[in-house]
Chain A
Amino acid sequence: MGGHCPNVADLLFCCEIEQLNMLYAPADGLDIESVLRPFPQVRAWMGRVAGATSPVYEEVHKLLRYASKKRHEAMSKRNAPSRL
């Protein structure tokens, strides 16, 4: 784990944590930023794994990024103050 070349555990753990991108703080009370804030080593390591496996890493996370964005947009509309 955390070596210069990623191994299967690095891949598995990073892909798990990436799922937190779906969370939207105003509705869920937390998001990936707030969850990872106390863990700078984890954040730095995720960046290294993504870099070492680029561009495949972003390729397989494309749908998750899109789904996250869509969910955040839908929830921000739902949470917007009513005009009435």
Chain B
Amino acid sequence: MLHHFANPTRFLRIASIAQPWVAWATILLAGAGLYLGLFNSPADYQQGESVRIMYVHVPAAWMAMFCYISMAMAAGIGLIWKHPLADIAAKATAPVGACFTFLALFTGSLWGKPMWGTWWVWDARLTSMLVLLFLYLGYIALINAFDDPARGTKSSSILVLVGLINVPIIKFSVDWWNTLHQPASVLRMGGPSIDESMLWPLLLMAVAFKTYYIWVLLVRIRAEIISNKIRILRLRQVHG
């Protein structure tokens, strides 16, 4: 089934049909999530209104890890089955994941100043997220460092798989180390410990971020396929 979509032309056709749906889904979900999060959910009894950064910070952090895992899966599929679109998907995901990581770190910093009194602290969670950002940047640097694009994607696929060890470290860092960052309150044994009125906007924003990622991914993969075609046409022009 995977190879059914391997034909780039067929993928382009499906992508152009799917894209408006995904775009509208993103806008509606984000709108609902933001409305519930900003207006319909309670302020925290201790933090006041600044707790509402959570509705951006937590989904961004979830997406940062989700994008890395997607990248690793795409890289693995590209390496093992040589699926032509898998490498393109991994390359397209990288800048999106890097931006989500930066967004998570930035909004976390903005949240940390009123809540903890500091913009940054070198605890396990923040440090491992910073390492994730550099893993993304290293991937982007490596994939663009070769004159032959195929060599670049193969090399960086291996790099992604090597760096995959960091993701469980990030997830469990708040359990394994004594950190300033709060422990898990949604994805944990025993179910979420967060109240429903806050959980729903959070989940809506999380799904909205995911559909946004798929939207951007479709745009970027289509762009990459078309730019590959242009490159081949140019090469043919030079050689022909």
> Are these two chains actual partners, yes or no?
no
Query: Which of B's residues lie within 8 Å of A, judged by CB?
Result: none
